[in-house]
Structure 1
């Protein structure tokens, strides 16, 4: 079984925009496939698209339905910059491994953009630069060193002084790193497009279906369901987001709470290039603009996962975030049109966990997305597809459950 969580509360901004709803069927009898995926969110959508493109038959199940878990709660800043700064990650896992992780993240963002274009998915995709603002974790000199570490890894990043930042972007901070090649998009529309593509290749979606048991058997895996039928497959991918199945190790992974707001549309108040912004601070603030000029802003994380405690703080957290937004961008109307809270999974290094579940042959899992959920989901889709089609992914060791 999986741990059941109230993954989000409030009203995410994506409810303001229409998105297709992939069709599902009731699970009325036993089914078989090459791969079973538990979960039908954005991670599962990417994995299903990749697996069906590789010629594998796929069945997806979800106890809620498509895109009803954490997917609508994401703020969808698709960045290659990992939560853990490269200079700090190198001290934790070594320079070579840290550089490989950052490069793979950069590659994943590019591959995702290419896949969206290839499939012609209308998810309001736009390329955006990003500004990493100096803060209490990385002051200006440390931020300059971070930029040098990125450039040394072949990841172009420009250091902006306070004057340059003010002149170019109108932001009053001591320094920032400027990077290019990140993506703004609508996560529900992206997920629906990927699922539609997978369905066109034969993927089958069943919901609501609750998986209650996971067993390794001689010819693969067997998944029992509360509805009665059994799903048999050669392999099973657990893409349950922050609701971890009981068979998945919890060591090195924790669930915390995060908060976000979105303003009314105010296109004339959007800053130059609609650059993503992220503070090198704790607590941090991050923001982006939507296609119609809303400002999506979040942060104020709390180190607990209790839903009642999380939800009780939503109004206060929304006020705090709005106040920070007003201070950073005095020209905008910071009043929230939408506010929401959600569960948020993270690891000590900021890197996700992707790969085979220890002690459970045939089962794979993806978790610990941090602030790079969509980027890491793309990496998961690539690595899981490689493993299930007999290919070697040279970066699998960076994200596996048995990594150091």
Structure 2
């Protein structure tokens, strides 16, 4: 399945850490991770740090799948608001889920502090604004729940939002513990650390999921891979049968602009909105802006560059309405797939059908944060350690 079309930006900013061979002969490992994107890379880091023998395989190249289309906004807040989760799954689990995300953001920040600065990892505040006056009431309710449970949040009324950030919208929430990242560089830097810990990588190695048995799987080229446990971290490349009726594929659009001099907006905050589908944007090194939106309920990506460019221009025009002083043009524009779940939660944990098969699928728009959380959950499950969040995101729910 094609995951992205058009020209992505991040993979132009760095060379791969290494090129890896394809798997040509039988092999064995403690943990087999299928997928070398953000999810697989974080899982490999966590498990290798715990002393596990880990092998990562990718059907293409490490970090070149969905991760290269990631816009790199990392937030503890989900596409589904805490107050909405309260209505869906109850207040206790809703708060636990948001607590999981906040802890995962802090862990990502800790990991990033050990990596080269070239990963572009920077702590950033987020501005979540009400798209319409009616959404202002939703934000007030959301603020009350976040504040009640001590999440880092501030309510900005219209006047304060305009005065501080120049955003003429009804109201907004400011959150922190959030960050921006160059996802491709982050994956490459973390891959280098994984190699130091003995993680084995194979690229251009696809597996036949239908060949999966209790402790082995076959590559499409005929190599036999035996394992104690397998982690499926294939992103949006496949909807597995365990997810039937629980998830679907959508497509989204994103842009990277040409660089400009000066400050784009105050504090380089990351900005998103309550409307669905929503507009979101952030700054990037060199005075660039990264933005996305215009999600569609379709898994058929556009191949026509003019269509992708037109969609990208719609995104840019909407931002220019908010910040008329910005004079930039699109440098890169792309169209990519992403998965959404019916309940707004990712799928992370043990397969309902085989105890040593684990899914690490960060569905919804907060994939990197979810991937960090899922890597920890799976590590705990493998070690028999109780995890307070595992029941909320289990694939069998």
Is residue 2:54 matched to residue 1:58?
yes
CA shift, 1:154, in A, is 1.1
1:83 to 64, 79, 83: 79
Q: Distance in 2 between matches of 1:136 and 1:167?
A: 19
Alpha-carbon RMSD across the aligned residues, in angstroms, is 1.8
The reply on whether 1:241 has 2:235 as its aligned counterpart is yes
* Residues 90-115 of structure 1: CA deviation (Å, up to 9, x unaligned): 10111111111111101100011101
State the shift of 1:55 in Å: 0.5
Residue 190 of structure 1, aligned match among 186, 190, 196: 186
Corresponding position of 2:372: 378
Within 5 Å, which residues of 2 pair with 1:289-328?
289-308=283-302, 313-328=307-322
Residue in 2 that maps onto 1:207: 203
* Aligned with residue 171 of structure 1, among 167, 174, 177: 167
Contact 2:22 2:204 in 1 (8 A): yes
111, 123, 131: which is aligned to 2:119?
123
My pick for the range that moved more, 264-273 or 163-172, is 264-273
- Are 2:238 and 1:223 aligned? no
Instruction: Give the aligned partner of residue 139 of structure 1.
Output: 135
- Taking structure 2 as the reference length, the TM-score comes to 0.95
Question: 1:303-335 deviations in whole A, cap 9, x for unaligned?
Answer: 010124897742331121111011111111242
1:138 CA drift (Å): 5.9
Q: Distance in 2 between matches of 1:125 and 1:78?
A: 10
1 CA distance for matches of 2:223 and 2:8? 34
Q: Structure 1 regions of 5+ residues with no counterpart?
A: none
| Other structure's SS at 1:288 match | strand
Pick which of 317-326 and 358-367 moved more. 358-367
* 1:149 aligned counterpart, secondary structure: helix
- For 1:360, the equivalent position in structure 2 comes to 354
Of stretches 129-138 and 332-341 in structure 1, the one that deviates more from structure 2 is: 129-138
Instruction: Determine if contact 2:39/2:362 at 8 Å carries over to the other structure.
Output: no
Superposed CA offset, 1:15-40 (max 9, x none): 44124333312312111110001111
Q: 1:270 is matched with which residue?
A: 264
Q: What is the CA-CA distance between 1:361 and the residue it aligns to?
A: 3.2
Q: Deviations over 1:28-62 (max 9, x none)?
A: 21111100011111111000001100100011111
Residue 216 (structure 1) shift: 5.9
326, 351, 364: which one aligns with 1:332: 326
Trace 1:13-52 onto structure 2 (pairs within 5 A). 13-52=9-48
Which residues in structure 2 correspond to 1:64-79 (within 5 Å)?
64-79=60-75
Count of aligned pairs between the two proteins: 397
Q: Is the 8 A contact 2:29 2:54 kept in 1?
A: yes
Aligned-pair CA distance for 1:135: 1.7
* CA–CA distance in structure 2, aligned partners of residues 121 and 112 of structure 1: 14
Asked whether the equivalents of residues 137 and 280 of structure 1 are also in contact (C-alpha less than 8 Å), the reply is no
Structure 2 CA distance, aligned partners of 1:380 and 1:286?
24
Cross-structure match for 2:97: 101
> 3-state SS of the aligned residue for 1:327?
helix
Distance 1:166 1:137 in 2: 15
Residues 248 and 207 of structure 1, relative CA distance in 2, 3 Å threshold? farther
Aligned to 1:348: 342
CA contact (8 A) 1:37 1:59 kept: yes
What is the TM-score when the length of structure 1 is the normalising length? 0.94
| Residues 1:347 and 1:66: Cα distance change in structure 2 (over 3 Å) | same
Q: Helix, strand or coil: the match of 1:366?
A: strand
The alpha carbon displacement at 1:368 in A equals 4.5
- Over 3 Å counting, the alpha-carbon distance change for 1:203 and 1:319 in structure 2 is same
Distance 1:331 1:375, change over 3 A: same
Question: CA–CA distance in 2 between the matches of 1:76 and 1:369?
Answer: 15
In structure 2, list runs of 5 or more residues that go unmatched.
none
